[in-house]
Amino acid sequence: MEQHHFLTTLFPRPKFTAAEQDAVVNRFKPVQFSRNDYLLREGKTATQYWLLESGFARSYVTDAAGNDITTHFYGPGDIVMDWSSFFLQQPTRENIQALTACQCWQLEYLHFQELFHGIETFREHGRTNFAASYFTLKSHSIGLIADNAAARYKKLLQEKPLLVQNVPVKHMATYLGITDTSLSRIRRELAKESS
C-alpha cells in the first residue's frame, strides 16, 4: 500500500523509525463512507477503528423514549471508534454514523494488536490518544452539569469550529443537552453579540 501523506503525518518520523512507520501505515486500508452510512451499529462488537481524513461523523445512543442522543462528534484527524467495545471486544451500546461523505483509514483489531504489542512507540501513541479521549469525555460530562448551555456551545465551537457548517442543529442540540429551539436562540444571541 502506498504510504499516504495523511498517515505519515499522524505517525511521524523521527518519533517512529522508518521501519516502524512503514509497519504501521501499511496496516491501514482506505475506506469511504457515504452520508448516513453506519460505521458501527448498536449491539455489534467493534473490530476496526478509523482515522478520519475528511468528513464528519457522530456517535449516538437511543434513550428510553427512542430519541437519538449524540455522544460525540468526529472531524478530520480524529480517531473514530468505540474505545470500550474495541478494547474489551464487547457489543457496543452506541451507533457511529457518517454525517457527510467520509474518507477514512481503517485498522483491523488483529492488526492493531500486532502493532500495539510489537511497536512500543505505537503503544505509547495509543495510550496518549486513549487518555485524551477519556479527558474529552470527562470534560463534556462535567460541562453538562456545571456549565450553562451557551458556555457548552461556545466550547464546542472552540474545539470543533467546522461543526456548525457540517452538522445538523438537532445533533448539536442533543450533544449539548438542549432543544433545537434553545440552540437556535443561543446562536442568534451570539451572532448579535459579534456583529
CATH number at residue 86: 2.60.120.10
On whether residue 185 sits in a domain, the answer given is no
- Give yes or no for a contact between 100 and 56, defined as CB atoms under 8 angstroms apart: yes
Number of CB atoms found within 10 A of residue 143's CB: 16
pLDDT at residue 164, as a whole number: 82
Q: Which residue from 43, 121, 115 is spatially nearest to 85, judged by alpha carbons?
A: 43
Residues 47-67: tens digit of each pLDDT: 999 999 999 999 999 999 999
On whether residue 142 sits in a domain, the answer given is no
Residue 19's φ and ψ, nearest 5 degrees, are: -65, -40
On whether residue 113 sits in a domain, the answer given is yes
On whether residue 169 sits in a domain, the answer given is no
On whether residue 76 sits in a domain, the answer given is yes
On whether residue 128 sits in a domain, the answer given is no
pLDDT at residue 2, as a whole number: 46
pLDDT at residue 4, as a whole number: 77
Q: How far is CA 16 from CA 10, 56, 125, in A?
A: 10, 28, 10
On whether residue 139 sits in a domain, the answer given is no
Question: What is the residue-wise DSSP string for 35-81?
Answer: TT-EEE-TTSBP-EEEEEEES-EEEEEE-TTS-EEEEEEE-TT-EES
Based on C-alpha coordinates, what's the Rg of the chain?
18
pLDDT at residue 138, as a whole number: 92
Number of domains the chain contains: 1
User: Does residue 192 have a pLDDT over 60?
Assistant: yes
pLDDT-based confidence at residue 1 (cuts at 50, 70, 90)? very low
Cell numbers that stand for 33 in this block: 463512507
Structural domain for 108, as ranges: 5-119
What's the pTM?
A: 0.91
On whether residue 133 sits in a domain, the answer given is no
Mean pLDDT over residues 112-130, rounded? 94
